[in-house]
Structure 1
Amino acid sequence: MRLALIVEYDGTDFSGSQFQLNARTVQGVLEDAATTIFGSQTGRIRMASRTDAGVHAVGQVASLDAVTEMSHGEIRNAMNGNLSEDVCVRLARSVPADFDPRRAAIAREYRYVINDGPVPTPTRRRHEYHVHRPLDDVAMADCAQAFIGVHDFTSFAAASIDGGSNVRDVETANIRRTDDGRIVFDIRANAFVRQQIRRMVATLVAVGSGSRTKEWVASLVATPRRDGATQNAPPQGLTLQRVVYEINFEREPPLD
């Protein structure tokens, strides 16, 4: 059967989500666990969204082929029994044999968390970006609206390894300040170019600190250019929240 796995991980000690030789990755540890349980016939695990080293996920989706009579719950528990504490399979579900977690996705949702308080929070340092000055979150929220729509995001893209298009459809881009004083940036799009969100966040921080204007950011969107937003916000503030499909894995009844 082909299985869809919803995977959560703390990205701090991973060299990203995608398999790399001689590096610890989320895909690599999932494949090791699957091989231990199901044998070598499982083959390569596919991932819905590529995350950089240090980036986290609570709703990453992977696909796995396995010959098994185990229930969904038994598969989930067996995988977690062979995974380290910084990654887990939250859910396993059967899907059609041609399901591809990347190509079948209709949207991805990410969240970035900023702490602009006077001191860092050591217990949250792996999951937020501490900016050493107060930011104007109202100006940032206004500026973020420039990202919404179908645009060429070359200004916010790292160099592409495949030379593909940088056109993406951003559905929502919202900034809010939480009750505990954090600034949270939530963004949803059909897909993202490499390092797009971290570069967006860096531009929003520049606006919030007063060093850049809303018009400058709007010009980066309107006039795509490689020398546009060249600064990256650090990875630890970013989390993949959810990958959206026509079918809702969370609501599909399990076999167990």
Structure 2
Amino acid sequence: MKLLLSISYDGTDYNGWIIQPKVKTIQGELTKAISLVTKTNNFKLMGASKTDSGVHALDQKVLLEIEFKPELSRFQRAINNALPSDIILNSIDFVDDDFSIRNVKQKQYVYTINDRNTNIFDQRFELNLKDFKIDIKRLQDILNLFVGKHDFKLFSGLTLDEQLTINTIRTIDSIKVIDQDSKIKIIFEAKSFIRYQIRMIVGASLHCLQNKRITIEQIKEKLNGIGEKSTIVIDSKGLVLQHITF
């Protein structure tokens, strides 16, 4: 039996999505909760996006394969009762046997920046730049360089060995900068992203905006595979997996 889950989480206190020994992860906590409810470890759990340490989600999609057919509302309630308070199972639905969690049409991530006043209740979910006023139009112009099909190997957290097996040529459908609720939000949409890709793009763009460490010409060169890997990786706390569509 295949089930599609949508979960939200505050990733602040977690070492990312992927289950790992001896560290706290989202997949690890979800696995423990489902084991507690089903009284078995005989199931499979796979996420649609491998969010990094500290990254949050409003709509992470997860495929659960189990050997029985649960009553959905009771099953959802039981899992939520077993989960820690910073992870919530939003919905759960049956899917066809041929459904693949890898057949994603588009992922939307949002990076939030506060360049004004800090709200204590939002600090875990945004980058604070209150000492630097952002020129939205110029930032948009810089981010437009990354839209389209490029080789992002110099804007990724992949090792040289990983670059031999993981395709670094990706297409970003759109990047939009908006001023919303007195915050700057950078909205990324694409079928897939590489480790640290969004955080490195945001970091390079903000430094370019401030005329620090990287120029527009250097960004263009790196997107053509020229030069060294970017070393600017912005804080993960401002990044949220907003939505996934199939």
* Contact 1:137-1:208 at 8 Å conserved across structures: no
Aligned to 2:151: 152
Matches within 5 A, 1:54-203: 54-101=54-101, 103-117=102-116, 119-131=117-129, 132-160=131-159, 162-163=162-163, 164-180=166-182, 182-203=183-204
Q: How many Å separate the matches in 2 of 1:42 and 1:94?
A: 18
Aligned to 1:14: 14
**1:61 aligned partner, one-letter code:** K
Instruction: In structure 2, list runs of 5 or more residues that go unmatched.
Output: none
Task: Give the number of equivalent residue pairs.
Answer: 241
* Contact 2:44-2:66 at 8 Å conserved across structures: no
Alpha-carbon RMSD: 1.7
State the percentage of identical aligned residues. Answer: 27
Q: How has the CA–CA distance of structure 1 residues 43 and 162 changed in structure 2, closer, same or farther, with 3 Å as cutoff? A: farther
Q: How has the CA–CA distance of structure 1 residues 32 and 125 changed in structure 2, closer, same or farther, with 3 Å as cutoff? A: same
Q: How many Å separate the matches in 2 of 1:69 and 1:9?
A: 26
Instruction: In structure 1, list runs of 5 or more residues that go unmatched.
Output: 246-256
Secondary structure of 2:141's counterpart equals helix
Q: How many Å separate the matches in 1 of 2:41 and 2:181?
A: 49
**2:55 aligned partner, one-letter code:** V
Q: Which moved more, 1:91-100 or 1:231-240?
A: 91-100
Q: How many Å separate the matches in 2 of 1:27 and 1:98?
A: 23
Aligned to 1:254: none
Aligned to 2:51: 51
* Contact 1:134-1:209 at 8 Å conserved across structures: no
Q: How many Å separate the matches in 1 of 2:172 and 2:17?
A: 23
Matches within 5 A, 1:244-255: 244-245=245-246
